[in-house]
Structure 1
Amino acid sequence: MNNDPRSHGLWERTAPPAPDTQALRGDATADVAIVGAGYTGLSAALHLAQAGARVTVLEGEAIGFGGSGRNVGLVNAGLWVKPDLVPAALGPERGERLLALLGAAPRRVFDLIAEHRIPCEAQNTGTLHCAVGAKGLADLEDRARQWQARGAPVRLLDAAEAAQATGTRAYAGALLDERAGTIQPLAYARGLGAAALAAGAALHTGSPVLGVTEAGSRWCLTTPGGTLTAEWIVVATNAYTRAPWPEIRAEIAHLPYFNIATAPLSGNLRGSILPGRQGAWDTKPVLTSFRLDAAGRLVLGSVGALRGPGAAVHRAWARRTLRRLFPQAGDVPFEAEWYGRIGMTADALPRFHRLARQVVGFSGYNGRGIAPGTAFGRVLADLVAGRITEADLPLPVSAPVPIGFRAARELAYEVGAQAVHWAEARFPGRGP
């Protein structure tokens, strides 16, 4: 997008075309204005339109331009933090409500894909969280125990089983989550957009919201080409938030994440690497993720930005990692690379905000956007439609609080990842 092959990389090359949309021109009205055409905004638009509401989505760039079109494509259940920490932070009632919602969220994603026949390479075969050493295995044992206590279909694999499931002997074990899976993320976003349009929503791309003013009991949103007046506003911009809600940007730190994809692997290699087609990632702080796409390309990812000196450092890391994890792949060439940013909150938990009268939104997905974004979009639709109240939400209403030392955190994320990947080249005994 925007003539930048590093913005969406492989996903833009292989996704079906986006539905035809135009920028907003002139003055329009709606019951609900949704700002942002990612998973949250499009899910909210789809469910509201199906309920009979007049819905208009305003997107500053293109469908799936933000994290929804750049991520790894792992449809994970739950959150980044361990399950027991959620009720400890939110209280037992809301905490367990949030865990139940997000535990079931992958099922909602795959059901929507089936219902709307979205061509997005969906694989509902689970994901593998891979243990690096004894410490990583202990972490996964704890996670498995906490999820199993809630009845979740997760299973801890030993080293031999993990090797068989992944195709590498680098890991001490792995946690298989049968609720989860993989998709082509940009294709899913575009498919949600098409489904929302088919349900009756309006969707305008190339229409950034420049300002919002009150117009009696309604809101007037201004874009470069026109205005939209609505009773409700759903803010669904997360890490790519711009004006007029700078407080959302202030509460999250940007964590850069990149992916590098190989050319399609041979049939024999596809049979030995992730034979069950699960997506995978490991327990290292500067983690490694890996998955296959429908054509058999191996997509490797990690923390970092493919710009400046980081581009060469992370490319070299990807080549070393491929050789270390999957020496059977040989010197298969890389054919695509891209990166984006993840919105991280101070405690790795998402937020629900009432930014003004009838202006609401979720933010802070902390690297778990696909299933939570889809589920939160449905929750927002229910709230706006009056099917639930704020007391029924999975998160408390909170005011945005600026994250401390945000600029320093963001610099540390980017430079720190470069340093870790650079050091691994010179001290190769530090793990897989």
Structure 2
Amino acid sequence: MTSETTLWHASAREEFGAGPLTRDMTVDLAVVGGGFTGCSAALEAARTGATVCLLEAEAIGHGGSGRNVGLVNAGLWLPPEALTAQMGQDAGLHLIHTLAGAPAQVFNLIAREGIDCEATCDGTLHLAHSAAGLRDVQDRHRQGVALGAPLQVLDAAETQRRVGSDRFCGALFDPRAGTIQPLSYVRGLARAAVAAGAALHTHSPVSALSRKGGDWVLSSQGHTVRARKVLMATNAYHLGLSDPFQPQFVPVNFCQFATAPLPDALRATILPQGEGCWDTALVMSSLRMDQAGRLILGGIGNGAGPVGGVHHAWAQRKLATLFPALKGQALHHGWSGRIAMTSDHIPKIVAFGPDALACFGYSGRGIGPGTVFGMQAAHALLTGDMESLPVRPVARHDERFTSTRALWYETGAGLIHATAARFST
């Protein structure tokens, strides 16, 4: 395995090139961050006729958007009743119904803009790794169908047929969801935003942001962008800038490993219907197949960190446990990304100043929520309609003990991966 060779860079069909900021600009909307949120916001704003400048410190999709698993899910990790208990009934239901339609919005954008990103609408499987996990997915099913979600509980036999492994007790199938090649998707959003009239600049970190004369002024590469409105869309990859705003979250690492394209005979038995999967284990794992037939396994932990070898060895054992025919299968790609986790696992929108919003904290659900939050944040900033946002903006969001909690996640994942799949899944 080549260290930190991102499969998505190797297989991306969409290309996007943009240079650094080279001149001063005055625009309606300035966006900081070139991931799902930032690029969907830039596209939405430009399509309404607004002038837009997006500044990305690295390349488009450098952060979590280019390292994502690629599952286009409906909703959050939290089941509906937990969400409404934390947010209140009206606010919780508003977010639930907004994100229920997120996969459709993603796939509609892909179709409208002709984004070549291996989009498949075959659904997802939430795999029950134990009897307790099966009770969990059954309860999620009960809560979801009560709100109109077209969910199905699959028994162990049907789950085995769909996955190609006998290691699960059942699964929750969501036909609204699907998979994409995430880097191609975000590059396609960027391409579409430029075609709509937005100016996108990469390798242009924002070194200063201040309010002057009723506008926001951003400094980058020795130039300034003056904007009526500003959207901070850096999520887990916020760099440097702390005044007037820096998002607070717990950074959680997630690593992924991919095989070479599997032989046709194996490919026909492993995830034959193409669903993306994740399981109910305390330290969650994900599974999916790309269009070339590469099997991709993900799990909590930093594959490039001090215990990266532990995660790599776990991935090989895990694949052999789930699919004995893959014992000894080489892993040709391995990479890691950061998740912005919030204490309540609910995304945040912070109104950190006049005509300024920041969206972050998707807690591992970046594609659907990131796209929807970006589009709606752009609309809210340009129209002043804050009521339609997925969550109510707050003046600030604080997280405590972020470093300690991040270490706890990383240490726990390392310990579990050091022993997991030696004896069981």
Q: TM-score range by the shorter chain?
A: over 0.9
| Structural mapping, 1:65-214, within 5 Å | 65-214=62-211
| Residue identity matched to 2:303 | L
**CA–CA distance in 1 between the matches of 2:67 and 2:245?**
20
- Aligned residue number for residue 28 of structure 1: 25
Q: Give the Cα separation in 1 of the matches to 2:76 and 2:405.
A: 21
Q: Which residue in 2 is equivalent to 1:404?
A: 400
**Mapping of residues 31-430 of structure 1, within 5 Å:** 31-245=28-242, 251-386=248-383, 389-424=385-420, 428-429=422-423
What stretches of structure 2 of length at least 5 have no aligned partner? none
Deviation of 1:399 after TM superposition, in Å, equals 3.1
CA contact (8 A) 1:239 1:249 kept: no
CA shift for structure 1 position 248: 6.3
How far does residue 55 in structure 1 lie from its aligned partner after superposition?
Answer: 0.5
Q: Secondary structure at the match of 2:338?
A: strand
Q: Give the direction of change, closer, same or farther, for the CA distance of 1:59–1:6 in structure 2 (3 Å limit).
A: farther
1-structure distance, mates of 2:61, 2:323: 31
Percent sequence identity over matched residues? 45
Per-residue deviation, 1:175: 0.4
**Partners of 2:254 and 2:117 in 1: CA distance:** 21
CA–CA distance in 2 between the matches of 1:17 and 1:128?
Answer: 27
CA shift, 1:83, in A, is: 1.1
Whether the 8 Å CA contact 1:207–1:225 is kept in 2: the answer is no
Contact persistence 2:128–2:134 (CA under 8 A):
yes
| Contact 1:241/1:248, CA 8 A, preserved across alignment | no
Inter-partner Cα distance in structure 2 for 1:161 and 1:319: 25
Q: Does 6-15 or 322-331 show the bigger shift?
A: 6-15
Task: Find runs of 4+ consecutive structure 1 residues off by over 4 angstroms.
Answer: 5-8, 246-250
SS in 2 for 1:227: strand
Could you tell me whether the CA contact under 8 Å between 1:8 and 1:69 is conserved in 2?
no
Q: Name the SS of the counterpart of 2:268 in structure 1.
A: helix
Q: Is the 2:248–2:397 Cα contact (8 Å) retained in structure 1?
A: yes
Query: Separation in 1 of the partners of 2:305 and 2:389?
Result: 42
Query: Which whole-Å CA distance do the structure 1 matches of 2:270 and 2:244 have between them?
Result: 44
Offset from partner CA, 1:358-385 (integer Å, 9 cap, x none): 1112110000000001111111121022
- Aligned residue pairs: how many? 424
Tell me by how many angstroms 1:156 deviates. 0.4
Deviations 1:214-254 (A, max 9, x none): 22011110012411111000110111112324686562000
Structure-2 separation of matches of 1:43 and 1:272? 36
Change (3 A) 1:38 1:408: same
- The one-letter code matched in structure 2 to 1:405 is F
Counterparts of 1:153 and 1:303, CA distance in 2: 29
Question: TM-score when scaled to structure 1?
Answer: 0.95
* Alpha-carbon contact 1:32-1:55 (below 8 Å) kept: yes
C-alpha distance after superposition, 1:60-112 (max 9, x if no partner):
00101110000110000000111112222222222111111100000100111
CA distance in 1, matches of 2:87, 2:269: 43
Alpha-carbon distance between aligned partners in 1 of 2:5 and 2:43, rounded to the nearest angstrom: 24
Deviation at 1:415, TM superposition (A): 1.6
**1:201-223 deviations in whole A, cap 9, x for unaligned?**
00000001110122201111001
Q: Give the Å deviation of 1:332.
A: 2.4
Q: SS at 1:407's partner residue?
A: helix
Give 1:204's aligned amino acid: H
Q: Shift of residue 8 of structure 1?
A: 6.0
Deviation at 1:7, TM superposition (A): 5.2
Distance in 2 between the 1:337 and 1:351 partners?
A: 30
Is the contact made by 2:14 and 2:188 (CA closer than 8 Å) also made in structure 1?
no
Which AA in structure 1 matches 2:223?
Answer: G
- 1:374-401 per-residue CA deviation (whole Å, 9 max, x = no partner) reads 1111111210221x62233221222333
Contiguous gaps of at least 5 residues in structure 1? none
Question: Aligned equivalents of 1:139 and 1:263: distance in 2?
Answer: 34
Contact kept in structure 2, 1:127 and 1:278, CA below 8 Å? yes
Pairwise CA RMSD: 1.5
In 1, the alpha carbon distance for the partners of 2:11 and 2:321 equals 28
The 2-side partners of 1:6 and 1:319 are apart by 15
Question: 1:57 and 1:9 mapped to 2: Cα distance?
Answer: 24
Shift of 1:6: 5.1
Q: 1:246 to 1:129 in 2, by over 3 A?
A: farther
